Amino acid sequence: MTEPSVRLEAVTKAFGDLVAVRELDLDIPQGEFFTLLGPSGCGKTTTLRLVAGFEQPTGGRVLIEGSDVAGMPPHRRPTNTVFQSYALFPHLNVRENVAYGLRRKKVGGDEIKRRVEAELERVGMAADINRRPNQLSGGMQQRVALARALVNLPKVLLLDEPLGALDLKLRKGLQLELKRIQREVGITFVYVTHDQEEALTMSDRIAVMNQGRVEQIDAPAQVYERPATTFVAGFIGVSNLMPGQVTRASSGRGQVRLDSGVEFETATDGIGSGERCHAVVRPEKLEITPVDSSQGASATGDPSSARIRPGPTGSEAGRAQDGRPTIDGVVEASVYLGTATQIVVVLPGDVRMTVLVPNADEAERARLPGGGAPVRLSWAPEHIHVVRESAGAPAPDAGDRAPVAETSK
């Protein structure tokens, strides 16, 4: 079967004046774990509801396994949904909740019993088969909701922030379990979340949405390492953006000149010569080096340290050092995060960059530059690349400037 499991062609959904989903194109192959990621109100739930049949598009087409499902009511679609609030039937026990779909499909009694019990076994809820939903914890309800959908073996399973209401630890455990179950059953999962870490952990591919549009569709590593727009760069991780301009571009590569004066060569991905752009370096890819401002050149770092390189001797900002571009700034704040220390550095032009230094060794951490210290940032040339300005809302400045590992709520 080469048909994509779900295909959206220029799908638009407007509620009156408000356009919730705008000209959306998606192709989700059979068996993929596909995630819709984006901030609150960007249209993720609406997209899911368009596939499930709870909403009809105001433009474009929705295809499931190659056939147009326009006008087809939800109960005729080969999709099942795991709702954010679980929506378990309070008047039915666990067994009857899970059996609900099979009963409507007029499956035989023995087969229902067998499949319901097997499915509850799979999600680890076999012991609670006769309990009512209000006697279950949030995590248990979530498992029942998953079983209730999966037992029907839908072509596509739609999950709307299924872990959103759970605490961090439970969520981590269930993320892995969901992923395992998805591999096991081989059903296409369309997963909605606003948690970028969850998306990166679980997905085969991620569509990053912003104001009803898709900004980028890529594998998790691509989305993180090579964000396509300032919005994606900001939403996934910390927006370490330095404004600049492409000065020369030919056949995909070009010269970029940052407003701070630093110049480097990189892949420009279709951004033309003369266009404004932003350069991104992920916080863990930046190296920070103390600069002795009074003498201009003095080694204060420990040569044995992996992350803190000795202070540059007489090199000027922007000049490549072992082929590494550098830029000078001042430490604004330094925050201890447990596994790492996060340092915010202010560059000329009021550009803020976040640096993440792993806390590998206490002595090394004690030598990290504190607030007000002049520092120099450097990076490997392959770790910087340019992104275009987002078409939608401006890139959100990650106000808390927390790194990836810490942003999940």
Ligand X SMILES: Nc1ncnc2c1ncn2[C@@H]1O[C@H](COP(=O)(O)OP(=O)(O)OP(=O)(O)O)[C@@H](O)[C@H]1O
| Residue 85 within binding range of ligand X, rule CB under 6 A | no
For residue 12, give the amino acid letter. T
Q: Are 360 and 206 in contact (CB under 8 A)?
A: no
DSSP secondary structure code for residue 350 in this structure: T
Rg (CA), the chain: 25
Query: β-strands 263-267, 253-258: how paired?
Result: antiparallel
* The entry of other proteins, Mg ion, ligand X, none that residue 52 binds, CB within 5 to 8 Å by partner kind: other proteins
- Tell me: does residue 62 bind ligand X (CB under 6 A): no
Distance CA 400, CA 402 (A): 5
Select the residue interacting with other proteins from 10, 41, 66, 103 (CB under 8 A).
Answer: 103
**Packing angle of the helix pair 138-150, 109-122 (nearest 10 deg):** 140
Q: Does 135 bind other proteins (CB under 8 A)?
A: no
CB of 298 to ligand X, least distance (A): 51
96 touches other proteins by CB under 8 A: yes
312 interacts with ligand X by CB under 6 A: no
Interface of this chain with ligand X, residues 182 to 201, rule: CB under 6 A:
194
Helix axes 94-104, 109-122, angle to 10 degrees: 130
Residue span binding ligand X (CB under 6 A) among the ranges 37-45, 90-98, 328-336, 380-388: 37-45
- Please count the CA atoms within 13 angstroms of the CA of 267 that sit on its side-chain side: 8
Q: Shortest gap between Cβ of 212 and Mg ion (angstroms)?
A: 13
Output 15 or 89, the one with its CB closest to ligand X: 15
Whichever of 215 and 284 has its CB closer to ligand X, that residue is 215
41 near ligand X, judged by CB under 6 A: yes
45 binds ligand X (CB under 6 A): yes
CB of 221 to ligand X, least distance (A): 24
Among 4, 43, 162, 290, binds ligand X (CB under 6 A): 43
Contacts of 169 (CB under 8 A, 6+ apart): none
Q: Does 45 bind Mg ion (CB under 5 A)?
A: yes
Q: In what order do the strands lie in the sheet with 385-387?
A: 263-267, 253-258, 241-250, 276-280, 385-387
245 binds, among ligand X, other proteins, Mg ion, none (CB under 5 to 8 A by kind): none
Contacts of 116 (CB under 8 A, 6+ apart): 95, 98, 99, 102, 129, 147, 151
When the beta carbons of 67 and 85 are compared against other proteins, the nearer one is 85
Sheet hosting strand 59-64, strand order edge to edge:
18-28, 6-15, 59-64, 67-68
Q: Read off the tokens for 292.
A: 């002795």
- Does the footprint of ligand X cover residue 251 (CB under 6 A)? no
Q: Which tokens in the block code for residue 401?
A: 């400037």
CB of 87 to other proteins, least distance (A): 4
- Which listed residue (20, 150, 214, 331) binds ligand X by CB under 6 A? 20
Q: What are the residues binding other proteins (CB under 8 A)?
A: 52, 54, 73-76, 79-81, 83, 85, 87-93, 96, 99-101, 103-105, 109, 148-149, 152
